[in-house]
């Protein structure tokens, strides 16, 4: 079995709808979903604000590569178009595989350029760490430390203040 943390983001079209569709695309593998946060764009400020969330997924048969393929399938279903000229540009849906753990609970490490694990910039992104804390308050980013310590460290402390919780937006329906 592998367990993974995925980061979801959308800033084009029906942002909430794209995030909900991504959660639905992972189906029964979804263990828990974070709250939704509205965040300023990262890396390229000339674009709309994002909605971001995190999802914990698990599947006894999934490999790290499977999580990447499922993430890309969700992006394609949302009409994601990758612009090679604008790396951090706007997108209908962005699903990043942040970290993966094997059946024994050990972190999977990878330096494959297509799937680096843990995600090489997760420790620098409040919009990844804050939603992850929602679903795993005592979580650790492999190789970097406690999520709360990372979020409160400079320079992220300022970025974290720019995240706006959106309790009015839910990714999963409640019974």
State the catalytic residue, choosing from 96, 125, 130, 159: 96
State the catalytic residue, choosing from 65, 72, 80, 140: 80
Q: Give DSSP secondary structure letters for 116-172.
A: EES-TTGGG-HHHHHHHHHH-TT-EETTTEEHHHHHHSTTHHHHHHT-EE-TT--SS
28-40 as b/e: b if 16+ CB within 10 A: ebbeebbbbbbbe
State the catalytic residue, choosing from 15, 20, 70, 91: 91
State the catalytic residue, choosing from 20, 70, 94, 130: 94
- Is 96 an active-site residue? yes
- Is 66 an active-site residue? no
- Is 80 an active-site residue? yes
Residues marked as catalytic: 80, 91, 94, 96
């Amino acid at each position: 079995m592998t367990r993974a943390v995925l980061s979801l983001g959308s800033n084009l079209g029906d942002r909430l709808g794209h995030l909900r569709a991504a959660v639905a695309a992972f189906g029964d593998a979804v263990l828990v979903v974070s709250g939704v946060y509205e965040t300023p764009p990262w890396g390229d400020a000339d674009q709309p604000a994002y909605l971001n969330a995190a999802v914990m997924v698990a599947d006894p048969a999934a490999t790290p590569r499977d999580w990447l393929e499922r993430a890309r399938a969700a992006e394609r279903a949302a009409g994601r178009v990758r612009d090679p000229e604008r790396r951090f540009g706007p997108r209908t849906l962005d699903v990043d595989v942040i970290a993966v753990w094997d059946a024994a609970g050990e972190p999977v490490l990878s330096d494959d350029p297509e799937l680096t694990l843990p995600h090489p910039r997760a420790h620098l992104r409040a919009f990844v760490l804050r939603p992850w804390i929602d679903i795993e308050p005592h979580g650790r980013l492999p190789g970097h430390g406690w999520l709360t310590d990372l979020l409160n460290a400079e320079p992220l402390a300022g970025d974290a203040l720019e995240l706006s919780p959106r309790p009015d937006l839910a990714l999963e329906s409640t019974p």
